[in-house]
Chain A
Amino acid sequence: MAGPAISFSDVNLTLGGVRILRDVSFKIESGELACVIGPNGGGKTSLIRSLLGQMPHSGNVRYEGDGAVQLGYVPQFLEIDRTLPLTVTNVMSVMVQRTPAFFGVKKKYLSLINAALDRTGFKGKRNRLFGGLSGGERQRVLFAQALMPEPNFLVLDEPTANMDEAGARRIEEVVLELNALGTTVLWINHDLAQVKRVASKVVVVDGGVPYCGPPSEMPPQIAETRAGVVV
């Protein structure tokens, strides 16, 4: 299931009188794993939200390719009140099933949920309250929901920011597995070592896009002054 190619052309975004994105143009090929890096406030999340159709941007964002786009999106966090009595399984079932989750989880969805959680290395704790999980555990659950159903286009907004090393490595393995099957990946990532390890393309976002290309060819002055990373 080949993922779509994504092209941004002349994308501009102004919010509250502040120009967030300026003439952003670049393309991610089908099946490519592209990492988005940039300083805080550089417009990375806004770029992704423009791609998802959630921002009043101008310019074009186009999906290219045959077949339907099956999007998997991992946001930075879920705004769930910590004290609400929602288990991990409750939260996951809300994502996939139409029957109200308080009636329980249907068998076919339960196996789907368990498979997705297993894949991210989330062992046990499925009946624990979501609010009682650590930041890293929550991110594993958030990542797992993006695997239901299996995506051919994966958009990740810092999915490993609060994770321990083992967790981050597990997520990386799953992303690489999906990418090997043809899934296009767009990944906001601040870990330059990981970016160099996994990405076929790096997109530096700092208002505009000063660099888009292979990580190995990124000019050091851009990495130091525009990408928000320490080389």
Chain B
Amino acid sequence: MSGILEAFRLYVQNLSYDGVLPETFQYAFVINSLICGLLIGPLLGWMGTMVVVKRMAFFSQAIGNAALTGVAIGIMLGEPYNAPYISMFGFCLLFGIGLKYTQHRTSMSLDTLIGVFLSVSLALGASLVLFVSARVNTHILESILFGSILTVNDTDINVLLAVSVICVVVGMPLFNRTLLASFNPGLAHARGLAVRRLDYTFVILITLLTVACVKIVGAVLVVALLLIPAASARNICSSLSGFVGWSVAFSSASCLLGIVVPMQYDLAIPSGGAIVLAAAVIFVITTIIRSTSGRFREAGV
């Protein structure tokens, strides 16, 4: 896979040397960040629509924050401090599945359980960070919280690529069924769907995607990229095709703008923040369209 990535980087760099692309594309790290942006943009835009329909926004936020604890555990167990993927995926999967299992067993509301799990996870993470801060530069932990798309390496890209393939191959055929199970689990079950299995599968996919994106947009900001493009699309759409299509377009555009604009104009904005700010601008524009267009007018109270 590294060979393919290297060939792609050389191709883009040559385009830049020939003047077809801007000068910034002569740097490998810029091309790496663009590859990541092109992978996570469409994927988060698409999965975000399901997160919005299933009302699981804060679940993704909780998973992102749990990644910090996963990093601390990884460093304690001797994983490389800049890529503790086994512990991150392991802990976050345990967190997500444990949360869903507890919800099924207790029938407690999801927001209450997320609050409990998130607090415990953060408390554990904060305690472990104290131990690992003696071993590594704490800026490493900062990059987990806020992302560092310009420092991604081939391992990060390969992990993201693998997760993207899993999400598309598993998630795409389950899209309709996942939607139906969220409309009415009883009806979905009566129509022959394994509702709980669908629930767990969705939780696993969202967890994998969130963790794979943590290095790029950060634990704090990954949920923003899941939600804001979908919310923007929802502002201006009146069908499912438009909802998913615009969400993918807005998310991809946010990623590309967030990466390219600060570099082109020498703006001192971190990439994760710039991506989310670009998404926020799109949200503001679509909100203005919705609030001023008669097409979307609704009852005031």
Residues in A lying within 8 Å of B, measured CB to CB: 49, 52-54, 71, 73, 75, 77-81, 83-87, 90-91, 93-95, 97-104, 127, 129, 145, 155
B243 an interface residue at 8 Å Cβ cutoff? yes
A102–B53 CB distance below 8 A: no
A85–B186 CB distance below 8 A: no
On chain B, the residues within 8 Å of A155 by CB distance are 190
Among B175, B191, B298, contact of A101 (Cβ-Cβ < 8 Å): B175
A85–B191 CB distance below 8 A: no
On chain A, the residues within 8 Å of B186 by CB distance are 49, 52, 54, 73, 75
B241 an interface residue at 8 Å Cβ cutoff? yes
With A54-B189, A155-B190 already in contact, the answer to whether A102 and B241 are too (CB < 8 A) is yes
On chain A, the residues within 8 Å of B172 by CB distance are 100
User: What is the count of residue pairs linking A and B with beta-carbon distances less than 8 angstroms?
Assistant: 83
Among A77, A79, A83, A86, contact of B240 (Cβ-Cβ < 8 Å): A86
**B67-107 vs A: 1/0 string, CB under 8 Å?**
00000000000000000000000000000000000000000
Q: 30 A-B pairs, CB-CB below 8 angstroms?
A: A52-B190, A53-B189, A73-B186, A73-B187, A73-B190, A78-B184, A79-B184, A81-B53, A85-B233, A85-B238, A86-B240, A87-B238, A87-B239, A91-B183, A94-B176, A94-B179, A94-B180, A94-B183, A95-B180, A97-B176, A98-B173, A100-B172, A101-B175, A101-B179, A102-B241, A102-B244, A102-B245, A127-B239, A145-B187, A155-B190
B189–A83 CB distance below 8 A: no
B49 CB, nearest partner CB in chain A, Å? 8
B234 an interface residue at 8 Å Cβ cutoff? yes
The complex places the Cα of A52 from the Cα of B188 at a distance, in Å, of 11
Enumerate the 6 nearest inter-chain pairs by beta-carbon distance, A residue then B residue, closest first.
A73-B190, A102-B244, A100-B175, A90-B240, A85-B237, A94-B176
On chain A, the residues within 8 Å of B238 by CB distance are 85, 87, 129
On chain B, the residues within 8 Å of A103 by CB distance are 241
A87–B240 CB distance below 8 A: yes
B185-211 residues at the A interface, CB under 8 angstroms: 186-187, 189-191
**Closest residue of A by beta carbon distance from B107:** A16
The complex places the Cα of A145 from the Cα of B191 at a distance, in Å, of 10
On chain B, the residues within 8 Å of A127 by CB distance are 239
Among A53, A83, A95, contact of B191 (Cβ-Cβ < 8 Å): A95
